[in-house]
Chain A
């Protein structure tokens, strides 16, 4: 894929372990396949996850992300392939012998036990002395700010509190790896945002490797050090959130993460540092400031994010990367406005503009004739 060649090198001092080529992965998933009858839930997935990562498995329902997580926890045995955690092959180790804990989507708090007893459950199974169990339970409950509710039963807690009990219960055993299945799915929007940062703080403080399964791309973008997008049992791309958004490697990822305008086209010229693609939808040429290293006349997709398009009444003075149309829909969202523009080809384009001024005076509205333009480095060419 051409994408990796155009990725800008990030110049941070300490390179994260997943960018180092010689780093030893902490969790190594080797060609894992899981079949249920003749349905293949996870299809030959290989994935390396490093120490202290907060890795997000992102995908729709039925993408196989939960099955992969359940195999890491030990609830499902892989049909083939290996799972190596901290250097030990754990493919067929039962869940109660793995140094892994899981936070369930439903939280799975024991309804007959108090908050305290729920958190102590795992420690008691280790046969630790009572005094130590008590101390560790008290410490972790303080950490999630639930010390005052220790004697309550789960049904007497709010959703957010239950979520924190579940988190405390899975963290108290100090696992090497924490698996979180849709950890924020049951929380309302405001609480979800707060908890995201709480999760990131805890992860940094405790230095435990987190693997989070989610269907919410925004959640994945905020939380993750890296994201693995899954579709039909396969990981279609693994990248850091920024790269995932700006340099999707295929149509599925481009459309799954955020919004995107997709135009079909054919390659006209392709050189080392520039390329042009002709798109019927745009009735013109798309000019790129990098090569795409593929045969000319090959059909490709050009993806442009809505916020990378400029929308103006006046015609831009560039020969390429422009088109014009009529506004068919306007949505004022407060911080930004969303426009839908119908091009002469009949194709509809989504454009977002930040509302920088309180009132720009000349506000674009329905049926306005507008010009769209974008920079040579704003579009992404996808071949698959």
Chain B
């Protein structure tokens, strides 16, 4: 018994050692992004979370310290308040802002998908030369500042802007329409800005799809539309999920577009956040708003992650 178990033990040990040697390299590779995330996401998150538990004060910084050190008696007091969070839930205003943000982001994501899918499909199905040209056209807007492009939309949509001028000159309308400072302008701005983020992941999934799958579906009796629903759509699911995630999540917290294109009644959490920080200088409340927004977004992120796993 001893004789037979000894060699197997020694091989197991050497395997373990080998695994550890291999593990170190992997550990280093994994550490890099981990450190990055810790430095630029997790630590700032903790700071914001800490501020959200404080009370607003007129001081520098404008909030109460978390730990109060009494040098005379040599003891520390931990001062934590959940008052900011309670205030968020008591006030109808913040709930409305969250819901309105989710609605605007949701509707914008839907339209981005509706517009982005055919574009991605077209690019994926076109020849190599046309494909390169079309893809660079999709990416081209990134060469100009995002802010400039939103300002350009303001110029286009204002009362005596190009859109109104053209519609009036062809007799479509008599009076200039109020387009700027409406929810419509916000949808337009978000869809326009985030469309490339929808198209690119959709393109990647559609491009690697085997065309013979569609032919097989048709060969087995599915008309083109059925083949699309039963084969193309399910197989594009990872791309649809990735694209929606890339549009929805930044759109929820979007500040610039509703501020520049939206009206005073366009309520979005990004604007509320800005106002709390810079107008009211209520950093703790603003931090609480930010933390709750993060929690609100964790839900859809988890859902999409699960969906993606399933698709694989």
| Contact present for B212 and A108 (CB under 8 Å) | yes
A18 interface residue (CB < 8 Å to B): no
What residues of chain A lie closer than 8 Å to B220, measured between beta carbons? 96, 101, 121-122, 125, 169, 173
In this complex, the member of B220, B221, B235, B237 whose beta carbon has the largest number of chain A beta carbons within 10 angstroms is B220
A245 interface residue (CB < 8 Å to B): no
The smallest beta-carbon distance between A337 and chain B, in angstroms, is: 43
The smallest beta-carbon distance between B56 and chain A, in angstroms, is: 53
Bound form: Cα–Cα A340–B281 in Å: 95
B222 interface residue (CB < 8 Å to A): yes
What residues of chain B lie closer than 8 Å to A75, measured between beta carbons? 215, 218-219
A126 interface residue (CB < 8 Å to B): yes
| Contact present for B221 and A108 (CB under 8 Å) | no
B213 interface residue (CB < 8 Å to A): yes
The smallest beta-carbon distance between B205 and chain A, in angstroms, is: 12
Q: A94-B218, A96-B218, A169-B220 are in contact. Are A111 and B235 (CB under 8 A)?
A: yes
Q: Which of B195-234 contact A (CB under 8 A)?
A: 210, 212-213, 215-223, 226, 230-231, 234
Bound form: Cα–Cα A112–B238 in Å: 12
Q: Which of A237-269 contact B (CB under 8 A)?
A: none
Instruction: Classify the interface of chain B: helix, strand, loop or mixed.
Output: helix
Bound form: Cα–Cα A102–B226 in Å: 18
A95 interface residue (CB < 8 Å to B): yes
| Contact present for B221 and A173 (CB under 8 Å) | yes
| Contact present for B218 and A104 (CB under 8 Å) | no
Bound form: Cα–Cα A173–B216 in Å: 13
The smallest beta-carbon distance between B61 and chain A, in angstroms, is: 53
B115 interface residue (CB < 8 Å to A): no
**Residue on A nearest B226 in the bound complex, by CB:** A125
The smallest beta-carbon distance between A115 and chain B, in angstroms, is: 14
| Contact present for A108 and B213 (CB under 8 Å) | yes
B311 interface residue (CB < 8 Å to A): yes
Q: A101-B220, A121-B220, A122-B221 are in contact. Are A108 and B215 (CB under 8 A)?
A: yes
| Contact present for B210 and A106 (CB under 8 Å) | yes
Q: Which of A116-155 contact B (CB under 8 A)?
A: 121-122, 125-126
What residues of chain A lie closer than 8 Å to B217, measured between beta carbons? 110, 121
Bound form: Cα–Cα A38–B211 in Å: 24
What residues of chain B lie closer than 8 Å to A105, measured between beta carbons? 212
Q: A108-B210, A110-B213 are in contact. Are A101 and B219 (CB under 8 A)?
A: yes
The smallest beta-carbon distance between B218 and chain A, in angstroms, is: 5
What residues of chain B lie closer than 8 Å to A169, measured between beta carbons? 220
What residues of chain A lie closer than 8 Å to B231, measured between beta carbons? 110
What residues of chain A lie closer than 8 Å to B216, measured between beta carbons? 102, 104, 108-110
A234 interface residue (CB < 8 Å to B): no
The smallest beta-carbon distance between A273 and chain B, in angstroms, is: 53
| Contact present for B221 and A126 (CB under 8 Å) | yes
| Contact present for B219 and A125 (CB under 8 Å) | no
Bound form: Cα–Cα A16–B212 in Å: 35
What residues of chain A lie closer than 8 Å to B234, measured between beta carbons? 112
The smallest beta-carbon distance between B235 and chain A, in angstroms, is: 6
The smallest beta-carbon distance between B141 and chain A, in angstroms, is: 33
Bound form: Cα–Cα A342–B80 in Å: 99
What residues of chain A lie closer than 8 Å to B210, measured between beta carbons? 106, 108
Q: Which of B103-150 contact A (CB under 8 A)?
A: none
A286 interface residue (CB < 8 Å to B): no
What sequence of 0s and 1s flags, for each residue 156-194 of chain B, a beta carbon within 8 Å of any chain A beta carbon?
000000000000000000000000000000000000000
Q: Which of B297-312 contact A (CB under 8 A)?
A: 311
List the interface of chain A (C-beta within 8 A of B).
73-75, 94-96, 100-102, 104-106, 108-112, 121-122, 125-126, 169-170, 173
A95-B218, A106-B210 known, 17 other contacts, Cβ within 8 Å: A75-B215, A75-B219, A95-B219, A96-B222, A96-B223, A100-B219, A101-B220, A102-B216, A105-B212, A108-B210, A108-B213, A111-B235, A112-B237, A121-B230, A122-B221, A125-B220, A126-B221
